[in-house]
Amino acid sequence: MAITQSDVVYTAVATAENGRDGRVATDDGKLDVVVNPPKEQGGSGEGTNPEQLFAAGYSACFQGALAVVARQENADVSGSTVTAHVGIGKNDEGFGIIVDIKASIPNVDAATAKDLVEKAHQVCPYSKATRGNITVTLSV
């Protein structure tokens, strides 16, 4: 279900200059980074890139969703980590991305970890935004 403008409680604002080979900064100055294509795409690889930024945002968001689900399920996710692998490659429409979410949840058994990750995937805003648009795989 989509939210309306009146539902918004926070809006992040970032501006890019020169696309994938330039700079990205937020309006509050908390993020100001050089972006360059990685060496695998013929770039210098000296700065960060959109895929790394997306992986950082998705992993942090998913970790937050995991914590919400864990509270609901009375599960201990302390010490857990979520790693997002974001790949980019050519497809029929030009380029596309693929994501692999890997969660480590040391204080629960494997079946519980799998269940928590699947439930987190249903509530994570990044997962909701990408559902049906890109391939996202989950593993624990």
Q: Name the helix (H) or strand (E) containing 34.
A: strand 32-35
Range of the domain at 34: 1-48
Whether 30 and 55 share a structural domain = no
Of 84, 42, 77, nearest to 61 by C-alpha is: 84
pLDDT one-digit tens code per residue, 18-68: 999 999 999 999 999 999 999 999 999 999 999 999 999 999 999 999 999
Q: What is the pLDDT of residue 129?
A: 95
Q: Return the CATH number at 79.
A: 3.30.300.20
The CA radius of gyration of the chain, in Å to the nearest whole number, is 17
Domain count, the chain: 2
d(CA 92, CA 81): 34
CB of 34 within 8 A of CB of 62?
no
Look up the pTM and report it: 0.94
Mean of the pLDDT values across residues 92-121? 97
Whether 84 and 105 share a structural domain = yes
